[in-house]
């Protein structure tokens, strides 16, 4: 089994933090995404979305999309540390918050950065106005996160989950667009400090 990634890239970090939380170690392959290694015919023959992270199993089967990879690893290496929720209510809430963070925060932030900076203009059309609108939507999403975290220790409830990993990555990533979790977001700030002290996050 091999994990294709670019260590500092946010989607790769989601999987890395998940692996660190679960105490799972697997071989990693560094992919030069800025240099376009992920858009070669060879890589795209293996990866449906042509992105990192991608997990390759020993029989050649590949799994793309960070949460799909986490789901696979969760099932393949069962532990007591459950990051997708245990009860039906928890499972539903983890999924809900993870999706909300992805759709309204993390992926919107990706669109903002990609369209504002044109970092991948060698492989996609960039629309500056789309970048600006996406950045505004990320800013508008922060109060949703602040409200939730002022009422709950973790996003999905009483327990740390994969939704916290996604939101933590989002809160760090938005610094690239000069959006900062400052004193106007006391609950998010305190939650980030708390999460940052977890063993898996110590170097984050
Ligand atoms: N939804 C995907 C997003 C993957 C993604 O956007 N990966 C970025 C790095 S964070 C990438 O491969 N960028 C290179 C490119 O777009 O060509 C996931 O969660 O895995």
Residue with CA closest to ligand 1 atom 20: 65
Per-residue confidence at 204, pLDDT binned at 50, 70, 90? confident
pLDDT in tens, 162-198: 999 999 999 999 999 999 999 999 999 999 999 999 9
What does the block give as tokens for 74? 């969760």
Looking at the CA of residue 31, tell me the nearest atom of ligand 1.
12
pLDDT band at residue 63 using 50, 70 and 90 as cut-offs: very high
Say what percent of the chain tops pLDDT 70. Answer: 100
pLDDT in tens, 119-130: 999 999 999 999
Q: Per-residue pLDDT averaged across 19-30, rounded? A: 97
Confidence at residue 58, expressed as pLDDT on a 0 to 100 scale: 98
How does residue 199 score in pLDDT terms, banded at 50, 70 and 90? very high
* CA 149 to ligand 1 centroid distance, Å: 27
% the chain with pLDDT above 90? 99
pLDDT at 203: 74
The reported pLDDT for the residue numbered 115 is: 98
> 52 CB under 6 A from ligand 1?
yes
Cβ–ligand 1 distance for 65 under 6 Å, the answer yes
Domains of the chain: 2-76 (3.40.30.10), 88-201 (1.20.1050.10)
pLDDT for position 77: 93
The predicted structure's pLDDT at residue 139:
98
Q: Tens digit of pLDDT for each residue in 134-164?
A: 999 999 999 999 999 999 999 999 999 999 9
Q: Whose CA is nearest to atom 5 of ligand 1?
A: 51
**Per-chain mean pLDDT for the chain:** 97
Q: Could you tell me if the CB of 11 is within 6 A of ligand 1?
A: yes
pLDDT score recorded for residue 37 = 98
CA 114 to ligand 1 centroid distance, Å: 11
Q: 101-107: long-range contacts at Cβ-Cβ below 8 A with a sequence spacing of 24 or more?
A: 101/145, 101/155, 101/163, 101/166, 101/167, 101/170, 102/67, 102/166, 104/137, 104/141, 104/144, 105/138, 105/141, 105/145, 105/166, 105/167, 105/170, 106/10, 106/166, 106/167, 106/169, 106/170, 106/173
């Amino acid at each position: 089994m091999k994990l294709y990634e670019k260590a500092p890239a946010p989607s790769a970090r989601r999987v890395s933090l998940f692996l660190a939380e679960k105490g799972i170690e697997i071989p990693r392959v560094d992919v030069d995404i800025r240099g376009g290694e992920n858009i070669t015919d060879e890589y795209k023959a293996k990866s449906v979305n042509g992105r990192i992270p991608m997990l390759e199993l020993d029989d050649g089967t590949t799994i793309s999309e960070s949460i799909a990879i986490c789901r696979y690893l969760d099932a393949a290496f069962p532990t007591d540390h459950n990051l997708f929720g245990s009860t039906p209510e928890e499972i539903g809430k983890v999924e809900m918050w993870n999706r909300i963070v992805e759709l309204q925060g993390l992926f919107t932030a990706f669109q903002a950065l990609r369209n504002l900076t044109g970092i991948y203009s060698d492989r996609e059309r960039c629309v500056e106005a789309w970048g600006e609108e996406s950045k505004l939507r990320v800013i508008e999403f922060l109060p949703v996160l602040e409200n939730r975290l002022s009422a709950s220790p973790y996003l999905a409830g009483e327990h740390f989950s994969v939704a916290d990993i996604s939101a933590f990555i989002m809160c760090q990533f938005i610094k690239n667009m000069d959006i900062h979790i400052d004193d106007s977001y006391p609950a998010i700030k305190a939650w980030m400090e708390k999460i940052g002290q977890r063993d898996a996050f110590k170097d984050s």
